Amino acid sequence: MLKNYLADDGPVLSEDNLNASSGVSGGRSHDLQLRLQQKTRQHEETEIRLQEVLLEKEDAESRSMMLNSELKRMRSARSPSSAEDASGRAVELERKLAEVEQMHRQKMAKLENDYHQAVNFAKTSERVIRRVQEELNKQKSANQSLQSDLDAARGVNTSEA
């Protein structure tokens, strides 16, 4: 997803371009590449965690709906002879439903918090990636400039000899 984003909206780096930028700033370029890979990996891990939390949310919702439907079924299936027994079961099911709903609310709050953290992390990662990309481009430009100066100096030295 991040590569698609960079391909659509930002400069695209290939291994050839990155390897061609060795020289004076080669160490700095390598560090920037490593940071970019690390941030990309962290972003992907965050997206995976977000998907897991969404699945947990769906599971909690389905359990809540199942208990709710069971409670409704139990209420509608009351027989006159076992009213006390059914009443006890209904109270127990209502208690379980309240517990599940409370757990669901807690999970939803955690999910929302995780979602906001993931969004914030993604935005921060994108900013860092953009800055790293800009720094990498600056280093490449400086490297090319130094390389052309070196080539020019070598050309002057060979003509003097």
* Positive/negative CA dihedral, 134, 139, 145, 151: negative
Distance, in Å, from the CA atom of 44 to the CA atom of 91, rounded to the nearest integer, reads 45
Per the listing, tokens 């070598």 go with 154
Q: What is the pLDDT of residue 140?
A: 95
Better pLDDT: 145 or 77: 145
pLDDT tens string 124-146: 999 999 999 999 999 999 999 99
Region at 39 (left for phi over 0; alpha for psi -120 to 50; beta for the rest) = alpha
Sequence-separated (6 or more) residues with CB below 8 Å from residue 75: 90
The rounded Cα 40 to chain-centroid distance in angstroms is: 9
Angle at 10 between CA 9 and CA 14, to 5 degrees: 130
**What is the band of 19 on the pLDDT scale with cuts at 50, 70, 90?**
low
- Of 6, 112, 2, 13, the C-alpha closest to 47 is 2
Q: Flag whether pLDDT at 24 surpasses 50.
A: no
Average pLDDT of the chain is 82
Lowest mean pLDDT among 20-24, 87-91, 144-148: 20-24
pTM (2 d.p.)? 0.38
